[in-house]
Structures are given as C-alpha cells and as structure tokens.
Structure 1
C-alpha cells in the first residue's frame, strides 16, 4: 500500500514539474470550480494534517526539536529572574517514631519444684479447714411407707414450716396391711358386725359388692379409687351422688349410668321389701344425696354435654321401670 502511494506521489510530482506555472494555476481554477467548497476545506485540512503543520499547531519531529532547543538557549526574562521563590512549608519536622523494647523476664532464682505426673505422690493434698463452723441440723430417719406415722414423718422432714392437716394427705397413705389395726378400722372391713347403708359399695351394673368380694376384686376392673376404704372396690351411694354433680362429663356419665341401674334394682326390691332396714337405709341415701332431683335437672338441661344428658334420661327411665317412687324412711 505504501509503495503504491509513493509511486502515485512521484508520478504527480513529475507531471507538475513538467507543467508551467500558468498551466498549474489554470488546472487549480478548474478543479476549484468543479468541487464543493466544503470538500475543498476538508481536503486542505487533511493536507495540513499530513504535513504536520498549519492551523493544527503540530510540527514534524525535526522542527519540534529545533524549537525546543531555541527555547532552552534563549536568556531568561527579567520577570523570571525577579520571581518570588515558593515558600517553604511551616511546622515542625516529622521525627521518626520511637520504638520501645522490653527486657525479658529473668529466670527465677528459686524455681518451683515441678515434677512430672508419673512422679506425683499418691497422698492427697491437705487443704486448710475453714475456721467458721455451721451447726448441721439433726438427721431425720428415712421414711418408711409402711410406718403408721408415715404422713407425720413426711411432714416433719419436708414441710416443717407448713400447718399440718392429715385429712388432705389421707389419700396418699398406704393401704393398711391385712388384719392390722388400721385395716380393722376401715368402714368396709369384712369382720364388722354391722355396716351402715352409706358404706355399702356397688359396681357399675348397680350390683352390691360384699366386703370380701370388694377386697378380692382386682384393680383392673376400674372400681378402686381414692375415697373411703380405698382397699375395697366399688362406689357408695353418697360417692355416686357427688360424682353426679361433677364438672367433668365423664364422671357424670359414670354416676348417672350406675345410679340408674341401682334405682331399678332398689325399686324391684332386690335388697328386701320396703319395710326392711337395708331398703330404708338405701332410700335414705338417695333422698339425702338428692339423686332424683339431680337426674331430672340433667335430663332437662339445654345444651351442655349431650352424652351425660342421655345417661340421665336413661337413669330416670330405669327408675320409673323399677317403680318410679321413693320410699321415705320413717
């Protein structure tokens, strides 16, 4: 590409050299007349760029070096010689930071006699005993659940500052052993000469449980509870009357179902005629516990637990099937 450009340039120069000045001027006039003025301006600028001078201010390397040499050789003007020198910076000079070096600790003159663990003596290290002495409380004996005074001993050992109320802890007392004094004091002891009607116990079918059978019945039947005579299975009529007014629907259902079956048996005279002592005593328990009134209120209640309401209606129906009346005691 450069060779072609040089060849064309040399050919143009030879042609221009063979032309006279009049011919060159005539050719320029014809060329300027045919071209657009803006194109002519662009070509002139391009020519200045290529030659490195003109209105661009750019000179060839040789000319730029010559101008720089002339400026260096030129004498300085009076203004340059009288110019004020730049002020020196004020303030204290910055000194290098000081370093501090600590001397190493010297080895102790009397080093501690440390020994390896393998050479340690087997004797324990004796620690100084404290000089202050605190009196220790008297040791109480271990609690024995079979001890008759178990509740009293437990209160003294764990709750000495609280008031004692044995009745609240009676349900925690262990079942007395057979034939013991506590066992003989049970309200449902088999060897008793007579039993109160309020102490008689019944199963879930409303049947009477004699004392010996109640004690022999296994706990898997679900008839044992923390009431009077916990060693005997079954429920008394006063206990069922309290459960019939319970806030828990499951307890009310159990009481209503058992009371309904009991009332049917009682009305049919299963435990004697109306005039017998046992029958009178049982009717007295029903009257004092307000069993019939409780069943009527539960059967006519609006809303609430519908299961207990159904058991109350069933209990009233069984009561009516058994006679539907209460034989009051004289």
Structure 2
C-alpha cells in the first residue's frame, strides 16, 4: 500500500506515493497527474502520530459505496446507534464526506460545535457511549457550502484522524463520500499503520448502482482493504400500515447477492425501504429502537449481526 494505485489509474501507474508519480509517460492524460506530481513524497510523519492517536480504537470500519444516494450515511448512523445500544461498547463515527456532511443530522447532533482541549479536539456525543465528528460542526450555518479542493479536504481528514481525542473505542465507523478518489486514497494512507479492519460496502439492487459499486470493490482490492461484506439497501418497500413489501428497485441481474458472489466477498443481507427510516434520520433517532417491529428493523439488525460475525 506504500504506492497506492487509484482505481481509475493508467495501466502502468507508478503509484501515488512514488517519486515518479505524475511524471512518467504512463501518467499523461490521467486526471490525477497534477495532484500526484505536486504532492510531497516520502514517509508522512503524521502517519505515526495517527497510529499512536488511534491506539485505543479496537475496530476501524470504512463505510463505502461507489454510488451516491444508496443510503451510506443512513447505514453508518443506524449501525452506530445499533452498536451503542450495548452500554458496554464505546462507539465513534467520523464523517469524512466533507462536501455533504449529513451525519450530524442523522445522529441528532446538528448545530453542535467542536471544542478544543489540551488533549485535542473533543468529539460531539450523541449518547454517553456514542461520539461523533464531522465538518458539519465547523460550519457557521448547516446550509453553508464547503467549496474546497482536494488538498484542503485531505488536510481536514488528516486532522480528524490525528487531532481528535477519540479515547478508547470498540468501533470507529468512517462515513465516506461516494467514489474512489482523493478522500479514499488519503484514508487508506493515513490509516496504513493504525490499521483498517475492513469496509462495509452499501448498494441498492438495481444495476445502475451495482455498476458503480463494483468499482468500489475493485478499489478495495487494489489498495488492500478487506471487504467485510456488501449490504443491500432499499431492497423493496415496506408499507407502514400493512407491513407488506414490494419491489421498488428490481434486481434485474441478481442484485447485491450475485455481485458479492462474483467478487468472493460476504453478502450481509438486504434491508427494505421503510419511510420510517427517513423519519428517524430527519429526527436523529435510532430507527431500530423507535420501530423494532418493522421488517426493516429486523433486517437491519441481521446485517449488523452478520457484520460483527465477520469482525469476530
């Protein structure tokens, strides 16, 4: 991983950390050429600092999807709530979707502010055992646009890893933006020594989403991140009145289960679309606690159990 190769790199890409990055003939025409050529090379001294900062974090999980709008942040937030139901567990969520930070609202901590202490930035607590960090806490108004280029976004991600006083955690969930670009490469680089336990990849059943999610699975393979499993979201619609289910996004080519089989990674399960999930995210509450009788709640808890089984 010392010479991480982007998913969309040319065939003979020397790797983003190579001294030749952005300078060889193979780099001509690559959209990352200028970034690679101008980024400082060699060992990043902050990687060791990040390793030491995260020594007390037992499990580090990336929540990924190559496609936007599949419910990745919803999965991250509700997974955190589900884990934090156990008072013996300490859970953290870091939102590195810099341009679209939705975790503060999903977790019910919108409008909170980050405080600086002598041990570093203090995360915001959604519960006694549930810590949250997001760029949303640094904005004057929640509707403010974050108009940053890659280096500034990557700098903030590094700060979230290096300067936040996470303390001792059983789980740290990292909510990422869609795609396989700067933020994802930076995360893999920054956490190289601290260790990433794996990635939860979220998709919806239709082929237009699966086509992009396949890119994410290839990204994980190329940079050496273990795929803990694929979760299929919005796999049908649950009527709030009769609890009946119907397909909204038909899985025309076998859906996420078939894709997981193709890549040889675990399929964690399918969660149907329930309007109450959206309501829970808007109000920043735990869906599985508020609506335990919903088929979607039972399905979501099955996904959580399957994910924990992969970790344990």
Larger Rg over CA atoms: 1
TM-score, normalised relative to structure 2? 0.24
TM-score, normalised relative to structure 1? 0.23
Q: Considering Cα pairs closer than 8 Å and 6+ residues apart, tell me whether 1 or 2 has the greater RCO.
A: 2
